[in-house]
Chains A and B, each alone.
Chain A
Amino acid sequence: MRFISVALAVAGKDLRSEWRGRELLPALAQFIILAVVIANFAFDLDLTTGPRLSPGILWLVLVFAGLVAFGRTFAAEREQASLEAMLLTPAGPTAVFAGKALAAAALLAVCELVLLPAMAVFLGSPLSPLVFATVLLATVGMAALGCLFAALAAQTRARELLLPVLAMPLWIPFVVVGGRAVQASMTGAPLNLQPLAVLLDFDVLFVVVASLAARFVLDE
């Protein structure tokens, strides 16, 4: 119970800070729309190629938006020493980490609410509840891993380089499984919920691993 109240308080603090500062979301929304527009011109999409290439564009944009969103999760707080102030309480690093990952996942979910309609408008990508569910499930695991590596990278000088190098290889399973599920949905293949179950398994695995590792990454 204490763990949940701490995690929610930390997540609420991060979301409130973003709402008041409006530093990340407007820039990410711009990035997403520009990336989709550029993809539209670069691939010269039509009604036939659109549904086939859209999943790839979706995951590429999502991966890069995630790197920006997660990269900022810990960096500023480390510089201001406000992260240390939270870690020096009895709340425990795992609860603080969970709160920050929750807020980062929520921010990425908001980005997805911009990305998916933008893809429908500019690329003519067919959207379905399965596409939304796939992307949201992938967000959970990606956020857990992304925040863990962001916490690690924030302790180094080359954090902008280190985060992609650490996070992207471990995000590949989400891109492979999520990409296939989205492609099947967009090309009108019969409904198959197995990829969602696999994504859920990944989520559980990576959330547990990240939570266990967070103590060692943060509390040093």
Chain B
Amino acid sequence: MTPAVRAHGLVQRFGERIALGPLDLVLNSGERIAVLGGNGAGKTSLLRLLATAARPAAGRLELFGLDAARQRDRLRARLGYVGHQPGLHPALTVRETLELFATLHGMGKEGVGEQLEVVGLGRLAGQRVDRLSRGQQQRLALARAVLHDPELLVLDEPDASLDAEGRGLLGQLVRGRTLVMATHDRALARELCGRGLLLHGGRDAGDPWALRLMEA
């Protein structure tokens, strides 16, 4: 079976500074991995490469057997991504936001209302995004990321600003999908993921440490 993610010698650099790699990673369909590490460890660089938001400086990245650098358009229908910032349009309403992204994904708008109910924003459908709390904006960003039912979900600290109910919702949204999630929250990593990848200075610092963390 083709792995969901296969990275070989993956490197990301900004100028002279190597932010990530070289890194090898294989993730099978349905697997969930927590990317752990301190600030500047390379977590966001890895996630942006997996989300096709950036191109690697070197190495090869395949998602579902397709070259991530060359077949981005085909892959993007199968990916959902929430980055550091929610990436929302402040003047749109909650409903308009999901309707816009339904159009961008070539979907009908019928599922939008149901999706809003799932993330607990149904009663705020007509509210402007810039009048939502940060946690509500994060819920909307998560709703947008799973709107098109992606196979691979890439989440960069998705628990930021989420309340306990929101964290429970996170578990519901990732169910049945391949997940790559960066987090500083060990409890959340243990709860949602079966594997860990510890990054240090952009390199894989070894699974055993991450596994111990998961078991702790």
Contact = CB atoms under 8 A, between A and B. Distances in A.
Contact of A80 (B52, B53, B85, B128): B85
A86 interface: yes
B83 A91 contact: no
A17 B85 contact: no
B100 interface: yes
A84 B82 CA distance: 11
Contact of B96 (A16, A82, A88): A16
A220 B148 CA distance: 23
Given A9-B104, A89-B104, A17 B89 contact: yes
Contacts of B87: 80-82, 84-85
A20 B91 contact: yes
A90 B73 contact: yes
A182 B103 CA distance: 41
A29 to B, nearest CB: 19
B128 A88 contact: no
A13 B100 contact: yes
Nearest to B141: A85
Nearest to A23: B91
B128 A89 contact: no
A157 interface: no
B contact residues, range: 20 to 34
B83 A89 contact: no
Interface string B92-110: 1000100011011110000
A92 to B, nearest CB: 6
Interface string A91-106: 1100010000000000
Interface in A59-98: 77, 80-82, 84-86, 88-92, 96
A201 interface: no
Given A84-B83, A85-B144, A91 B105 contact: yes
Given A9-B103, A16-B96, A88 B88 contact: no
A219 to B, nearest CB: 7
A89 B76 contact: yes
Interface string B155-193: 000000000000000000000000000000000000000
A89 B90 CA distance: 19
Interface in A82-140: 82, 84-86, 88-92, 96
A140 to B, nearest CB: 24
B88 A82 contact: yes
The prevalent SS among residues of B at the interface is: loop
A192 interface: no
B91 A2 contact: no
Given A85-B87, A91-B104, A17 B92 contact: yes
Contacts of B74: 90
A96 B104 CA distance: 9
B64 interface: no
A87 to B, nearest CB: 8
B77 interface: yes
B89 A13 contact: yes
A5 interface: yes
A20 B83 CA distance: 26
A197 B105 CA distance: 38
A88 B53 contact: yes
A96 B96 CA distance: 16
Given A16-B92, A20-B128, A219-B72, A89 B85 contact: no
Nearest to B147: A89
Given A90-B76, A90-B106, A13 B101 contact: no
16 contacts: A6-B104, A13-B100, A16-B91, A16-B92, A17-B92, A81-B84, A81-B85, A81-B87, A84-B83, A85-B88, A86-B100, A86-B101, A88-B53, A88-B81, A89-B101, A92-B73
Interface of B: 51-53, 55, 72-74, 76-77, 79, 81, 83-92, 96, 100-101, 103-106, 128, 144, 148
Given A82-B89, A90-B73, A90-B106, 13 more contacts: A2-B106, A9-B100, A13-B89, A16-B92, A20-B91, A20-B128, A80-B85, A81-B83, A81-B87, A88-B53, A89-B105, A90-B104, A96-B104
